[in-house]
Chain A
Amino acid sequence: MKESKLGDFEETILLLVGILNNEAYAFKIAEEFETQTKRPVSIGAVHSTLSRIEDKGFLTSEMEAGSAERGGRRKRIYTITAAGQRALEISRELKMTLWNQFPAFAEGKLNFVLG
């Protein structure tokens, strides 16, 4: 049986694939990751994660024609599968239930703590 849990980094990558929509290929995802999180990441790391998520069945991919700046080479565009969508929802629901049980947050006092 294939593992079907979603790690933290995997989840972020999966979300980025969703955000980037038609432009979701390794280089763009890595760029987006860096701008959104301000953390450096290598394309290789992203690529390896993408292929792992794909193995789990949360992503599919297809090769598409490439532009001039990549020497006309094709690129692999990733799209989220239905299973991927579910996995993201489950993860979000779990976090929301946890957040709601967190008293400071439930009572709206958390701003003070963060501030």
Chain B
Amino acid sequence: MKNSKPPKLAEKFLLLFLKRELAEEVLGDLDEKFYWTIEKKSLRRAKLNYWYQVFNYLRPFAFKFFKSNSIIPTMIKQNFKISYRVLIKNKVFSAINIGGLAMGMSLAILIGLWTHDELTFNQYHENYDKIVQVLRKDVDDGEIKVNSSLVSKLGQHLEQSFPTLFENVVITFYRNRTLVLTVGKQSLERLGYFFSQDAPEMLSLEMVAGQASLKNKDGLLLSESLAKTLFQDKNPIGEFVQINTSVELIVNGVYKDLPLNSTFGDMEYMLSMELIYNEESPPTWDNYNTKIYAKLNEGINYQEASALIKNELNKNVDYDEPIDLLLLPMKEWHLHGEFEDGAQVASSRMIFVKLYVVIGVFVLLLACINFMNLNTARYQLRGKEVGIRKTVGSRRRQLISQFLVESILYASVSFVLTILIVWVILPWFNGISDKDLSMPWGDPLFWLAGIFFTLFSALIAGSYPAFFLSSFSPLKALIGSIKQGKSNIRLRQSLVVFQFAISILLMIGTLTVHQQIQYSKARPVGYDQSDLITVRGRSGEYYKKFDLLRDEILRTGYVEEMASANYPLMNTLGNNDGFRLEGQEKSYPISFNTIYVTPEYGKTTKWELTAGRDFTRVDGDESQNVIISESAAEQMGLENPVGKRLVAREGFGWESRGRTYNIIGVVKDMIKGSPYESPRPLMLFSSESEGYAFIRMKKEASYVEAIPAIQEAFQEILPGHPFNYEFVDDQYARKFRDEEKIGSLATFFSVLAILISCLGLFGLSAFVVEQRTKEIGIRKVLGASLPTLWRLLSKDFTLLVLIACLIAIPVSTALLNGWLENYEYRIEITWWMYVSAAVGGLFIALFTVSYHSLKASLGNPVDALRSE
């Protein structure tokens, strides 16, 4: 430990401001503290603590320039007083200045917090560096695909065969479903994860009460919030919870809720995988329904381990094409967890991280530019002040410090305002971004960055007047011959162009995102979503009594029809391949979305039959019939599919021999998967009763009456069965959540950018008009009309905005086309979007500028000419 020294930089920083006579004792004390901390804690903590201590010496008593016999404190006080008066005198100007910078900084902080949250995804888990996920790589249609669904036996196999590589291996379901939890009379439907017994330790669950153990197969671990909902203030440890009204589990422990930025953030409770796989029903080598996670042993490299287990599946199962295994470390799950043709690529999430960072930097840049631009513009009006100060004997250094103090004051006020703004809008921002961010009040790095940035922009903004204005001879300054050079105007103009280019770019972006959402929302889905609710059946009773249930619900009089299917309307699960047309040798090379429905499915969903007939009850056995979708017919290459016969592969529909089905009807494609993709070819088979029930209410029925009546009928037939209904259109609307989030964030960004640009333009036009007051007065006296004056004052800005459009349009086209390529079902960017963004930008700019130009043009020329 002898070679560990206190951080040099911190020491230097301390000596920068610390009174010289205090240096020896303070450095001594801090050294002692440093070595003490190393011994008690760690080197890292000691270094951090050293910084902390140094910052805590930022107190008046220790400051150099508070030397009692110095004139400097008085001077600084004086500087502050003058700055304060200037700030108050130009209220509007100051507000624009400070507000603009604050907005930019707020956005930067929000994006910073968001990015930090994304980059620290999963770091909550203490074994972050050791946890890996097992993936498989197989060839499908000549394309290499990487999947996380694995056979249930593999977990156990890896743990037993590679004790040197893995400390432990756990499995969970590929797709964990919500289950109904019952305590006493209360029933809730919540999402839990089945896990092998080592999972609580592997994921380092922080226990609030009880044991982090799933050793007993009927054990249950609850999250703190769920424990509170189920048991209120009662101690839940050792209590019973009934799962899906069948199995009783004992609460072993309560853990602290996992943060949202964890892969397992949606887990509300954990139960034992042994409930599913145990001695009686052992895991198998053929069912791809689990995900496998492992914790590597100390010192094991995941790439080496990956190479060692590569062939474990092939060794145990006979595949046509070999399936290789690989490991993906936890730190890459979130932002680098996608694969393209077998190669690891950055995930779509990462693209957003980058995009937001770019936007954040740009908006911040806008705000800074404004701040500097406005300040510089305004300081030019203060040439006289400089002249007088100089004449009275002010030294240049004092002038410099005056201007610097002033801009530091402005920047500091904005920083305080920023903190306030962020604090206020953080809950709203969390809502639209689906995050759980909080203000890092206690993070020294956050404050350091904030203060650094504030000072940085203050110095840049203040340096022009401080060093340039103060260099003039008092005479020149007094007669007011400080004129801005050509280059200065150019600079300012290009800044305005830059700002508006970004604003217009964001406007076009926002329009496109919203158009895309509207367009896909309006996409025909192939059935009628309104007045349609869905309920999930969960018990054996439900399946047995489905017909009875349907009769009872129809009897309420509010319901038009009711049906059920084995999958919801919201996904394309249930896929099978190996179908062929009767009489042909080769089966179709694609897989179809195959679902089972009761005969009333068509009437309930109101699908659109384009040929043939629907299933019926009266015609007796429908089990040999199939209805296909238009895209399925197209994929099969059938012009008139009705009447053709399809042969399924062996094993389909639990038939050992391939069964033959008659195609009896064709329906319009139903959009069940992503609303942005082409529809999956669909095959519908007839069945007696299935898990997902759909209830079509009559158009004229009011929900307030209908739903309680349906619920009553439901519970009459199935007492104790939860009636958790959902509207199908709500479920569908949820598919747009990601895009809507992007939409609201884009709106937020562009509103901010436009606001900031406008503030800048507003201030700048005020300044320009002020400079030309006399000119306007004279023109007016000579008979210039209001429109002429307005045109005179506005045309410069108009030109700038037009140039900005010319820059923004090609850039936005390139960026947005890239974004739209993610969607199969998408809009084209059309000319009117550009036009409306450009016109919008121009209108906003003119509106902003007009305030000042009109005010000046309407004023009495006498006042203008008299002004000094």
Chain A: residues with CB nearer than 8 A to chain B?
25-27, 30-31, 42-45, 47-48, 51-52, 63, 66, 69-71, 73-76
Contact = CB atoms under 8 A, between A and B. Distances in A.
Contacts of A25: 25, 29
Interface of B: 24-33, 35-36, 52-53, 55-62
Nearest to B31: A70
6 contacts: A31-B36, A43-B53, A44-B53, A47-B26, A48-B60, A48-B62
Contact of B25 (A31, A42, A45, A63): A63
A36 to B, nearest CB: 16
Given A43-B56, A45-B56, A66 B61 contact: no
B61 A27 contact: no
A44 B25 contact: no
B78 to A, nearest CB: 25
Contacts of B32: 27, 69-70
Given A48-B61, A52-B61, A69-B31, A76 B53 contact: no
B56 A71 contact: no
B24 A73 contact: yes
Contacts of B27: 70-71, 73
Given A48-B59, A51-B61, A43 B33 contact: yes
Contacts of B58: 44
Given A69-B35, A73-B24, A74-B24, A43 B29 contact: yes
B25 A73 contact: yes
A53 to B, nearest CB: 11
A75 B25 contact: yes
B28 A75 contact: yes
B28 A44 contact: no
Contacts of B57: 43-44, 47
A71 B35 CA distance: 11
Contacts of B55: 44
Contacts of B62: 44, 47-48
A71 B61 contact: no
B28 A73 contact: yes
Which of A27, A48, A75 has the largest number of chain B CB atoms within 10 A? A27
A26 B25 contact: yes
B59 A70 contact: no
Nearest to B6: A71
- Chain A contact surface mostly: helix
B28 A42 contact: no
B29 A42 contact: no
Contacts of B35: 69
Given A47-B61, A70-B28, A75-B29, 20 more contacts: A26-B25, A26-B26, A27-B28, A42-B52, A43-B29, A44-B55, A45-B56, A45-B59, A48-B59, A51-B61, A63-B24, A63-B25, A66-B28, A69-B32, A70-B31, A73-B25, A74-B25, A75-B25, A75-B28, A76-B25
Interface centre among B27, B32, B33 (most CB of A within 10 A): B32
B10 to A, nearest CB: 13
Contact of B53 (A42, A71, A74): A42
A76 B24 CA distance: 9
Contacts of A31: 36
Contacts of A52: 61
Given A43-B33, A44-B53, A74 B28 contact: yes
Given A74-B24, A75-B25, A44 B31 contact: no
A48 B57 CA distance: 8
Nearest to B30: A43
A70 B28 CA distance: 5
Contacts of B61: 47-48, 51-52
Contacts of B33: 27, 30, 43
A43 B26 CA distance: 9
A75 B27 CA distance: 9
A45 B57 CA distance: 7
Residue of A52, A69, A73 with most chain B CB atoms under a 10 A cut-off = A73
| Centre residue among A26, A43, A74, A75 by max chain B CB count within 10 A | A43
A41 to B, nearest CB: 9
Contacts of B60: 48
A71 B29 contact: no
B383 to A, nearest CB: 43
A42 B14 CA distance: 15
A22 to B, nearest CB: 16
A27 B29 contact: yes
Contacts of A47: 26, 29, 57, 61-62
Contacts of A75: 25, 28-29
Nearest to B23: A73
Contacts of B30: 27, 43
A76 B61 CA distance: 16
4 tightest CB-CB pairs across the interface, nearest first? A44-B56, A42-B56, A73-B28, A70-B28
Contacts of B59: 44-45, 48
A25 B32 CA distance: 11
Contacts of B56: 42-45
A71 B26 contact: no
A25 B24 CA distance: 13
B33 to A, nearest CB: 5
Contacts of A43: 26, 29-30, 33, 53, 56-57
B24 A26 contact: no
A81 B475 CA distance: 60
Nearest to B57: A44
Nearest to A55: B61
A42 B53 CA distance: 6
Contacts of B53: 42-44
A43 B52 CA distance: 10
A31 to B, nearest CB: 8
A70 B52 contact: no
B12 to A, nearest CB: 16
A48 B24 CA distance: 15
B68 to A, nearest CB: 11
A111 to B, nearest CB: 29
**Residue from B29, B30, B53 having most chain A Cβ neighbours under 10 A:** B29
B29 A26 contact: yes
A13 to B, nearest CB: 14
Contacts of A51: 61
A27 B60 CA distance: 19
B67 to A, nearest CB: 14
A30 B36 CA distance: 13
A30 B31 CA distance: 14
A69 B37 CA distance: 12
A66 B118 CA distance: 48
A51 to B, nearest CB: 5
A26 B57 CA distance: 12
B421 to A, nearest CB: 29
Contacts of A27: 28-30, 32-33
Nearest to A51: B61
A26 B22 CA distance: 12
B240 to A, nearest CB: 36
